[in-house]
Chains A and B, each alone.
Chain A
Amino acid sequence: MIRFSWVQFRVQAAVAAVALAAFAVILAATGPHLFHLYDTSGVATCQARADCVSLASSLVSRIPGFYTTMYFLGTGILFAVPLLIGAFWGAPLITREFETGTVRLAWTQGVTRGRWLTAKLAVVGLGAMATAGLFSLLLTWWAGPLDTATALKENNSITFIRLGFVLFATRDITPIGYAAFAFALGVTAGILIRRTIPAMAVTLAVFAAVQIAWPVWVRAHLITPAQTVVALTAADTANLAQGPGNTVMVNPPSLPRLSGSWILNFRTIEGAGHAFNVATVPACVARNANVGVCQAALGPLHLRDVIAYQPASRFWAFQWYETGIFVALAVALAGFCCWWIQRRRLS
């Protein structure tokens, strides 16, 4: 049954192999030059913060447009790979046999349905994980320098740090977990819905929903966030921002020790520890308040920011947790499918 599953999977595997090969060729051709640019830019060895930012900016501006396009395209591909695997490898795995009627041939041979499904799940599931893993391996290797430089240039904004939404999902090992999960999701949708197009649609919708909701609802809380308190200087208080409700907060300054960290939330407190209420500072709420007067009024309040964050050093812990959870979910879905298919018949 393993051999037969491989025979049925051959065409899809070939498509994946060709895509991987093309990807590898382009990245291999452009990689060395990119690394050369990075090595000679001085970004790797820079010490002072201001230096690093300017060096990074100059590096990024020197990178040819094609490479930048490849960078974004590559990241896009890594987002797409698990989705496509779920829709095109997962959903049709079983529905194709239902729709063509070959399930009546497959289920009347000398193997039980459980073994039939397990073999298919194992062969294609492992293929899915390998494919996603290889794509990720290639991109992570190639995009490393550019990732570092961009993060520096953009001042560690959430979009560009490794722990951020974009890079976390498209580098290192998380795509492997996503591919396994998307695949299992597709197979489950196929087994329950029994028709290919609806199953593909449901797989895409559910997977996308999970990917969107996951980082904020689950990932942020996988490890208890760290906390730090930052004293705000007069210069910092110029950087006011609207907080939840109608409160006013002070944006935390960028700190070297928080570089690359994922800031989850913060609140501004004053002196004794109460939440800062700007309404108590008439100089700042007056209709035509003067910035200088407002800042002077805030000084004696000893404003501080309490920041909850995930340190950059936790990156690999998060990667393993996330991959592990998604693979576990995939296995659970696979188990459900095997149980379901033994229990229920054609109708």
Chain B
Amino acid sequence: MPNAILDPTGGAGRAPAAEQGQTGGLALAPRRRGLTGAKVGLLVNTKQNADIFLEEVGKLLVEQHGAAGILARTKSAFAQPAPECLLKELTAECDVVVTGIGDCGSCSASAVADGVALETRGTPAAVICSDAFTGSADAIAGLHGAPGYQYATTPHPVAVLRPAQVRERAGAVLPDVVALLTDPR
């Protein structure tokens, strides 16, 4: 009987399929029918133009969808998932949260991780990623037990845009953000 060939992944190479089967994916936080009167949290990740982008999304949600107010917070380490205290504050203070922009390898992954963490805590989240990073975003959703987690995309690139162009992008992605945060049925 020859020796077995040892696995360098610690068994993780086989994990995703088993996890999917066991968890059946993430149960999303309950959705509101609309955003009227909702307090909107913005989780800005400091990527270039993320602040202008999310502030515009927040403004449009107030102006066009009746949201009641905005709480904007910044996470200082864009590569890492948001710290627990920040998630706590957002879930305690806000009805829904918009986060982004997933515009690099690590921050696209961590933005989706933040979205999943917020859903797990019962707060609906809309993650916005550049469409160049869907591979990374989808992979991290699977790793966090949420295969197929839905997020909004905006065309790449984002970082080089001028402020007026960023605001146009925010307007263009708005319907997707609203659809992610609500369930009109």
A, B assembled together = no
A residues adjacent to B (C-beta < 8 A): none
